[in-house]
Amino acid sequence: MREQVIQTVEQEKIIVIVRGVEREKLIPLAEAMYAGGIRLLEVTYSANGKVSDEDTAENIRMLAKYFEGRMYIGAGTVLTEKQVELTARAGGKFIISPDTCPSVIEKTRALGLVSMPGALTPSEMQSAHRSGADFIKIFPITSLGASYVKAVKAPLSHLKMLAVGGVDENNIAEYLKAGINGFGLGSNIIDKKKIAENDWSGITELAKKYVKLVK
DSSP assignment of the chain equals -HHHHHHHHHHH-EEEEE-S--HHHHHHHHHHHHHTT--EEEEEP-TTSSS-HHHHHHHHHHHHHHTTTT-EEEEES--SHHHHHHHHHHT--EEE-SS--HHHHHHHHHTTPEEE-EE-SHHHHHHHHHHT-SSEEE---TTTHHHHHHHHHTTTTT--EEEESS--TTTHHHHHHHT--EEEESTTT--HHHHHTT-HHHHHHHHHHHHHHH-
- Tell me if 195 sits within 8 A of 21, measured CB to CB: yes
Q: Is residue 150 part of a domain?
A: yes
Sheet of strand 40-44, all strands in order from the earlier edge strand to the far edge: 114-116, 94-96, 72-76, 40-44, 14-18, 182-185, 161-164, 136-138, 118-119
Q: How many domains does the chain have?
A: 1
Q: Is residue 147 part of a domain?
A: yes
pLDDT attached to residue 142? 87
The mean pLDDT values, 10 residues at a time, for the chain of 215 residues are 97 98 97 98 96 98 98 98 98 98 98 98 97 97 93 97 96 97 97 98 98 96
pLDDT attached to residue 184? 98
CB atoms within 10 A of CB 25: 14
Domain residues for the domain of 33 are 2-210
Q: Is residue 188 part of a domain?
A: yes
Domain of 152, CATH number, reads 3.20.20.70
Q: Is residue 215 part of a domain?
A: no
Specify the pTM.
0.97
pLDDT attached to residue 92? 98
Q: Is residue 85 part of a domain?
A: yes
pLDDT attached to residue 2? 96
Q: Is residue 151 part of a domain?
A: yes
